[in-house]
Amino acid sequence: MVNLAQFGLGGLGTVMLSVIEEMDRVDIVAGADPADEARERFEDDFGGRAYPDHETLLAEEDDLDVVNIVSPHAVHYEQTMAALDAGLSVHLEKPMVTGVEDAAALVDTVSERDEIVQVGYQRHFDPRFERLREIVTGGEIGELGGVNCFLEQDWIESQQGTWRTDPDLSGGGQLYDSGSHLLDALLWTTASVPASVSADISYDAPGVDDQASLSVALDRDGRRVPASVFVTGDGPTGPETREGIYLWGSEGSAEYTSEGITVRRPDGTVERPEVEQLDFYALTERKLDAFLDAVAGERENPVPPTTGLQVIGLTEAAYLADERGERVNVQSILQDVRD
């Protein structure tokens, strides 16, 4: 049995705990949250011991194995480092951290430790996105020539007054929130890293972006692939997101939308492969199961901090590109920080 503590007992935290509670190999031992109501609900619903902060929890609990972090973005780094110092593996909700300095420092720390840190990008466990990656990496549409992708959500209005629209806690706005999933999906499905980016970003309030249009140059084994990215937090869909990824190859194209996956061939053939569609709860269970398997040494870490580093690098470079009005080299920023 794996003894688990969770940092962050709010809305998403409660949803994740409801999934964890049904997992046979996990025992929910403790939780930390500054809100009295959240701690009371945690103790009543899940039976664990509740603490006002992660420091007190780690000082009092000596029988833990792993930590699940579902707290505001800006405290991810501090909480993850504290858990690692306590000898605990961490499942860390996206975004991994805020800022390239903390992202690079976390990557370097984990490289020297035995503990696992898995970033909670659930699209790595979604059969639809797994199929898209297979299409690209398997050469089913030939050589990848370009990508268009978008994500829209009625985000800004629903999040007013919450920590997600406080840049001191969130790190930014929609690009750091739901948009982070799209940036990760873009890089993962194309098996690429971001080379450079230019950006046009609009803000609902200082530091809180609600719309971003990015032109990204992807690096696929030394070959540049152009990609356009559009993220809006002022869309018609909510609370779920609506998104799409269109992949253009030398021997066809593939597209993902809410209707599924479509593959088009130069001869006019259209294929719509049947791919299982999992709900949020099933995806959450899959990614947590993968984390526990990695902790047990039964598989490689499927979403290591190096993945989070590339997403954070692209995000921060996009903000900088918009501010400067010029194209920014993502890998140079990451290299400068690590140097």
- CA 125/CA 288 separation, integer angstroms: 10
Whether residues 87 and 206 fall in one domain: no
The predicted model scores a pTM of 0.97
Tell me what pLDDT residue 260 has. Answer: 93
Residue 44: give its domain's CATH number: 3.40.50.720
- Is the same domain home to 166 and 269? yes
In a domain, 286, yes or no: no
14 with 41: CB under 8 angstroms? yes
pLDDT (0 to 100) of residue 258: 87
Amino acid in position 107: V
Pairing between β-strand 252-257 and β-strand 260-264 as defined by DSSP bridges: antiparallel
Give yes or no: residues 22 and 128 share one domain: no
* Domain identity same for 326 and 180: yes
**Residue 150 maps to which CATH number?**
3.30.360.10
Question: In this structure, are 209 and 248 located in the same domain?
Answer: yes
- Measured distance CA(101)–CA(87) in Å, rounded: 23
From 335, 304, 327, 313, select the one nearest 109 (Cα to Cα): 304
What is the rounded distance in angstroms from the CA atom of residue 324 to the CA atom of residue 119? Answer: 30
Please tell me the distance from the alpha carbon of residue 7 to that of residue 71, in angstroms, as a whole number.
6
Question: HSE (CB half, 13 Å, CA atoms) of 164?
Answer: 20
Q: How far apart are CA 272 and CA 163, in angstroms?
A: 40
Burial of 263 (0-12, 13-18, 19+ CB in 10 A): buried
Strands 193-205 and 208-220, by their bridges, are: antiparallel
Structural domains in the chain (count)? 2
**Segments forming the whole domain that contains residue 93:** 2-121+291-301
One domain for residues 44 and 129: no
Quickly count: other Cβ atoms within 10 Å of residue 100's Cβ.
Answer: 21
Provide the H-helix boundaries in the chain: 11-20, 36-46, 54-60, 76-85, 100-111, 127-137, 167-170, 178-189, 280-295, 305-324, 330-338
On the CB side of 33, CA atoms within 13 Å amount to 27
Q: Please report whether residue 338 resides in a domain.
A: no
Let me know if residue 41 belongs to a domain: yes
Nearest-CA neighbor of 331 among 300, 310, 304?
310
3-state secondary structure of 225: strand
> 202 and 173 in contact (C-beta within 8 Å)?
no
In a 13 Å sphere around the CA of 119, the CA atoms on its Cβ side amount to: 27
Q: Nearest-5° angle of CA 133, CA 174, CA 219? A: 35
According to DSSP, residue 99 is labeled S
CA distances from 226 to 1, 72, 145, 249 (A): 47, 32, 7, 12
Per-residue pLDDT 10s for the chain (339 aa) are 999 999 999 999 999 999 999 999 999 999 999 999 999 999 999 999 999 999 999 999 999 999 999 999 999 999 999 999 999 999 999 999 999 999 999 999 999 999 999 999 999 999 999 999 999 999 999 999 999 999 999 999 999 999 999 999 999 999 999 999 999 999 999 999 999 999 999 999 999 999 999 999 999 999 999 999 999 999 999 888 999 999 999 999 999 998 899 999 999 999 999 999 999 999 999 999 999 999 999 999 999 999 999 999 999 999 999 999 999 999 999 999 988
* Torsion-angle region of 142 (φ positive above 0: left; ψ -120 to 50: alpha; else: beta): left
pLDDT of residue 239: 86
Q: Are 311 and 179 in contact (CB under 8 A)?
A: no
195 and 245: one domain?
A: yes
